[in-house]
Amino acid sequence: MKTLWLTQVAAIVRLEIGKTFFSRRGLWVYLLACMPMVIFGGHSIVWLKRGLPCDFGHDTNVFASIFQVLDMRLTLFFGCLGIFMNLFRGEMLDRSLHFYFLSPVRREVLLVGKYLAGLLAAVTIFTTSTVVQWGLMYAHFPKSVMESYLRDGNGWRHLTAYAGVTVLGCIGYGSVFLLAGALMKNPIVPAAAVLVWESINSFAPAVLQKFSVIYYLKSLCPIEAPPDVGPVFSMLLVNADPVAPAVAVPGMLLFTMLVLVVAAMRVRKMEIHYGTD
């Protein structure tokens, strides 16, 4: 009996995984994950065609900027929105949530199961995307140069850091959008609210900054993005008050836990109203 909830979580993940990977409402998540790949692939092709010199310093900075603006703020953000927002809301719309609510499963356990299923999909899709993006960025470098960059230089460290940031991003944004989908039927309002909050976050008081996903992700990026990318982007890129990874990772996890606890309280109180019957 002690492991009943684990059995139940496994059963829920099995039921949900198909939906989180291939939901009718979420196919654009894949398009989103491919979008940055096109940019980085294009970059390598142009460099190869023109025979431009391979410059680690330049490419690393470009990757850092694009990753922070495009991946962290758009791809991951909207991707997690697409996957996690529908965990509860989607079943309300499909009028199938009562199937779970009428089974001997605590609502908290249901939440954990659904969150894990979402996480599995998000982490798989977006970590793959990040790694492929990184590979495409440097695809025009000679193979031997790349190998030694990975082995002796900063390559491996950067790659794992970006992958790690992606995983943490899924964890953090996932919880936020799960909560948003449990709170509201209309996804636009909470999505816009979170987007604005994450964007202006660097100007918020230090205490409030800790209640955002981007704050932790920025601190974990392996290099600071150069601020010479125009005023709008540099506003998004500055990290006034970075924290060490030893703080940022537990901080992100703690933040996620908090959000999930609030979501669990909300799901416990949830009623089934499918509209007119």
Cα–Cα distance list, 17 to 104, 113, 268 (Å): 20, 10, 22
* Contact between 7 and another protein per CB under 8 A: yes
98 makes contact with another protein (CB under 8 A): yes
Which residue from 56, 101, 197, 211 is in contact with another protein, where contact means CB under 8 A? 101
Residue 25 interacting with another protein (CB under 8 A)? no
| Binding to another protein, residues 105-164 (CB under 8 A) | 105-107, 109
Which residue, 24 or 151, is less far from another protein as judged by CB?
A: 24
Considering the complex, what minimum distance in angstroms separates the CB of residue 24 from another protein?
Answer: 8
CB count within 10 Å of CB 74 equals 14
Considering beta carbons, is residue 102 or 232 the nearer one to another protein?
A: 102
Long-range contacts of 236-241 (CB under 8 A, 24+ apart): 236/68, 236/69, 236/73, 236/199, 236/202, 237/65, 237/68, 237/69, 238/202, 239/202, 240/202, 241/206, 241/209
Given the complex with another protein, which of 14 and 157 has the nearer CB atom? 14
Question: In this structure, how many other beta carbons lie within 10 angstroms of the beta carbon of residue 173?
Answer: 28
Question: In the complex with another protein, which residue's Cβ is closer, 7 or 148?
Answer: 7
- Tell me whether residue 4 or residue 254 sits nearer to another protein (CB atom): 4
30 Cβ neighbours under 8 A, 6+ residues apart? 125
Q: Which of 15, 17, 150, 253 binds another protein (CB under 8 A)?
A: 15
Q: Which residues contact another protein by CB under 8 A?
A: 4, 7-8, 11-12, 14-15, 19, 94-96, 98-107, 109, 268-269, 271-274, 277
